[in-house]
Amino acid sequence: MLWSLLKILVLVAIVALLALGAGYLMDTQGGVQITIAGTEYTLGPLQSVLALIVLVCLVWLFFKLLTLLIATLKFLNGDETAMSRYFDRGRERRGYQALADSVMALASGEGSLAMAKANKAEKLLQKPELTNLLVAQAAELNGDTKRAAETYKKLVTNNATRFVGVRGIMKQKLADGDEETARKLAEKALELKPKHGETQDVLLTLQTKAQDWAGARSTLTAKLKSGALPRDVYKRRDAVLALSEAKELLDEEGTIDQQERAIEANRLSPDLIPAAAMAARAHIAKGKPRNATKILKKAWEVRPHPDLAHAFAEIEPDETPANRVRRFSALSRLHPNDPETRLVMAELNIVAEDFPEARRALGDLVEMEDADARVFTLMAAIERGEGASDAVVQGWLAKALTAPRGPQWVCDNCHDIQSEWAPICANCGSFDTLTWTAPTKQEVATATGAQMLPLILGALEDKSDEVEDTPEEISDEATILDGEVQPSDTPEAEPRPAT
Ligand SMILES: [Zn+2]
């Protein structure tokens, strides 16, 4: 209301000003003198202003005619759309406007509006390479997968938009769970754009899932070449893939090829534990125990691990337990205080029936806060070997039952625990995410949250001291209050030392 009033006021003001200006010009003396072909024309002030306006109009008309003339010439030279383009300027402008509106609608998540605008742009512009992409995106946003698929197929037929089309169909197949077709499409897309990082990742994931290790290795190399992967990461992953190839071959039969792959994997990444163990076994099979020892020592130096110890034992399968203890000192010297080294040495000494030495090897591992089930089990074996009573041995075993399991292969991605190393997590399908570490969740579940261990240990203690303890004292030692066990003896209560 106020706005229209303002507009009227402005209009009135302009008319008043024009009238004032014209009156002023008419009153003014003098004018413009123009000489054309010898004749002199004298224009009054008002006339000269009018003449100027006419001149501007003529120039505008001249340029209009000039562009029409150029369009006609182009048309005559064979450019068939030149004329229609000349007359369709407005149409084109509206087309681009619709295109812009469609992009905006897409960005703001308005699927149906984006679709309507894309359709309009398609009609006005007749540029399918531009509008098809929008139509496909809008269809995806609307959940109209059929229309999207049709449009992607159209994009595939055009050279300029082929990659976009292939990628679009690939994503649809991935969403449908058709990984086989998606993998082929990803390969196709990568042929069109070898440096496309996202497609490289998709293809790599699909290839590892499909256990196409050779294909995955070539994709990994392509990734390195396009600069998307640091060299050390590349080396590690390439080693994992080479090892996977070797593992695959092992399933069939331990061939020479498999041995070579394992040795190659170990060469690429000497600290990859499964590769070192496998390469060592390959060398043992080839009758080269010295090479096996060298590889295992190198890997042990990086990280002591039970798999390495197993492979190390296999180098001399028939040696006496005492000789084995002696031979293992080559490993134990490298990390004498590492828990894994101490566990292995304790185990070997138990087998060799040198129990005091086994106890010495374990040392203070038993008192550690994170002592795991292996430590307590070995302690039980030592006590048994040294002739301790059943109650003492059972005490250690009971502790082992509720102790953490110790390090295992844990997926960095989903924290799933796996019994054996594999290139792909069996739970979430991620590649190279298994790490040898102590899992975070290790508590044994109980119905009431009560800790059973103190009860068991308490009962065992009582059993061994039955003569001294009266029933009343037993009930004092472990009472359950509100589901919590309140033992007088903590789990740390040492089982009797051996005599
Ligand atoms: Zn996982």
- Kindly give the distance from the C-alpha atom of residue 433 to the centroid of ligand 1, in angstroms, as a whole number: 7
Residue-level pLDDT at 443: 56
- Kindly give the distance from the C-alpha atom of residue 341 to the centroid of ligand 1, in angstroms, as a whole number: 28
Lowest mean pLDDT among 40-54, 222-236, 321-335, 448-462: 448-462
Residue 216 lies in a domain: no
Banded pLDDT at 219 (limits 50, 70, 90): very high
Contact by Cβ (8 Å): 434, 458: no
Banded pLDDT at 432 (limits 50, 70, 90): confident
- Kindly give the distance from the C-alpha atom of residue 429 to the centroid of ligand 1, in angstroms, as a whole number: 6
Residue 318 lies in a domain: no
Residue 33 lies in a domain: no
- Kindly give the distance from the C-alpha atom of residue 230 to the centroid of ligand 1, in angstroms, as a whole number: 23
- Kindly give the distance from the C-alpha atom of residue 301 to the centroid of ligand 1, in angstroms, as a whole number: 27
Lowest mean pLDDT among 131-145, 238-252, 340-354, 372-386: 238-252
Residue-level pLDDT at 355: 94
Residue-level pLDDT at 452: 64
Adjacent-strand bridge partners of 417: 410
Kindly report, residue by residue over 67-101, the tens digit of the pLDDT. Answer: 888 888 888 887 777 777 677 777 888 889 999 99
Residue-level pLDDT at 71: 81
- Kindly give the distance from the C-alpha atom of residue 431 to the centroid of ligand 1, in angstroms, as a whole number: 8
Kindly report, residue by residue over 437-468, the tens digit of the pLDDT. Answer: 988 765 555 666 556 666 666 666 665 554 44
- Kindly give the distance from the C-alpha atom of residue 224 to the centroid of ligand 1, in angstroms, as a whole number: 25
| Number of domains forming the structure of the chain | 1
Residue-level pLDDT at 457: 67
Residue 388 lies in a domain: no
Is 354's pLDDT higher than 90?
A: yes
Look at 232 and 255; give whichever has higher pLDDT: 232
- Kindly give the distance from the C-alpha atom of residue 204 to the centroid of ligand 1, in angstroms, as a whole number: 17
Residue-level pLDDT at 41: 78
Banded pLDDT at 25 (limits 50, 70, 90): confident
- What whole-number distance in Å separates Cα of residue 384 and Cα of residue 365? 18
Where do the H-state alpha helices sit in 111-159?
111-125, 128-142, 145-157
- Kindly give the distance from the C-alpha atom of residue 336 to the centroid of ligand 1, in angstroms, as a whole number: 33
Contact by Cβ (8 Å): 237, 432: yes
- Kindly give the distance from the C-alpha atom of residue 274 to the centroid of ligand 1, in angstroms, as a whole number: 18
- Kindly give the distance from the C-alpha atom of residue 248 to the centroid of ligand 1, in angstroms, as a whole number: 20
- Kindly give the distance from the C-alpha atom of residue 270 to the centroid of ligand 1, in angstroms, as a whole number: 24
Long-range contacts of 457-460 (CB under 8 A, 24+ apart): 457/395, 457/398, 457/399, 457/487, 457/489, 457/491, 457/493, 458/487, 458/489, 460/391, 460/394, 460/395, 460/398
- Kindly give the distance from the C-alpha atom of residue 338 to the centroid of ligand 1, in angstroms, as a whole number: 28
- What whole-number distance in Å separates Cα of residue 229 and Cα of residue 252? 33
Residue 308 lies in a domain: no
- Kindly give the distance from the C-alpha atom of residue 434 to the centroid of ligand 1, in angstroms, as a whole number: 8
First-to-last C-alpha distance (Å) of the chain? 107
- Kindly give the distance from the C-alpha atom of residue 208 to the centroid of ligand 1, in angstroms, as a whole number: 14
Looking from the CA of 365 toward its CB, the CA atoms found within 13 Å total 28
Is 473's pLDDT higher than 50?
A: no
- Kindly give the distance from the C-alpha atom of residue 357 to the centroid of ligand 1, in angstroms, as a whole number: 40
Lowest mean pLDDT among 150-164, 257-271, 311-325: 257-271
Residue-level pLDDT at 401: 86
Contact by Cβ (8 Å): 300, 313: no
- Kindly give the distance from the C-alpha atom of residue 216 to the centroid of ligand 1, in angstroms, as a whole number: 19
Residue-level pLDDT at 490: 40
Look at 13 and 45; give whichever has higher pLDDT: 13
- Kindly give the distance from the C-alpha atom of residue 418 to the centroid of ligand 1, in angstroms, as a whole number: 9
- Kindly give the distance from the C-alpha atom of residue 439 to the centroid of ligand 1, in angstroms, as a whole number: 13
Contact by Cβ (8 Å): 291, 317: no
- Calculate mean pLDDT across residues 121-150: 86
- Kindly give the distance from the C-alpha atom of residue 60 to the centroid of ligand 1, in angstroms, as a whole number: 72
- Kindly give the distance from the C-alpha atom of residue 430 to the centroid of ligand 1, in angstroms, as a whole number: 6
Question: What SS3 class is residue 303?
Answer: coil
Q: What percent of the chain has pLDDT over 90?
A: 33
- Kindly give the distance from the C-alpha atom of residue 165 to the centroid of ligand 1, in angstroms, as a whole number: 32
Residue 115 lies in a domain: yes
Banded pLDDT at 15 (limits 50, 70, 90): confident
Residue 36 lies in a domain: no
Kindly report, residue by residue over 169-187, the tens digit of the pLDDT. Answer: 999 999 999 999 999 999 9
- Kindly give the distance from the C-alpha atom of residue 211 to the centroid of ligand 1, in angstroms, as a whole number: 16
- Kindly give the distance from the C-alpha atom of residue 234 to the centroid of ligand 1, in angstroms, as a whole number: 20
CATH number at residue 165: 1.25.40.10
- Calculate mean pLDDT across residues 345-369: 92
Contact by Cβ (8 Å): 137, 114: yes
Is 63's pLDDT higher than 60?
A: yes
- Kindly give the distance from the C-alpha atom of residue 440 to the centroid of ligand 1, in angstroms, as a whole number: 14
Residue-level pLDDT at 259: 79
Residue 429 lies in a domain: no
- Kindly give the distance from the C-alpha atom of residue 414 to the centroid of ligand 1, in angstroms, as a whole number: 4
Residue-level pLDDT at 404: 87
- Calculate mean pLDDT across residues 229-245: 88
- Kindly give the distance from the C-alpha atom of residue 424 to the centroid of ligand 1, in angstroms, as a whole number: 8
- Residues recorded for the chain: 499
Lowest mean pLDDT among 34-43, 263-272, 343-352: 34-43
- Kindly give the distance from the C-alpha atom of residue 409 to the centroid of ligand 1, in angstroms, as a whole number: 10
Residue-level pLDDT at 444: 56
Domain that holds residue 91: 85-196
Lowest mean pLDDT among 69-83, 150-164, 272-286: 69-83
Residue-level pLDDT at 262: 84
- What whole-number distance in Å separates Cα of residue 472 and Cα of residue 470? 5
Question: Considering the chain, what is the average pLDDT of its residues?
Answer: 83
pTM: 0.61
Question: Hey, which of 31-45, 272-286, 344-358 has the most confident mean pLDDT?
Answer: 344-358
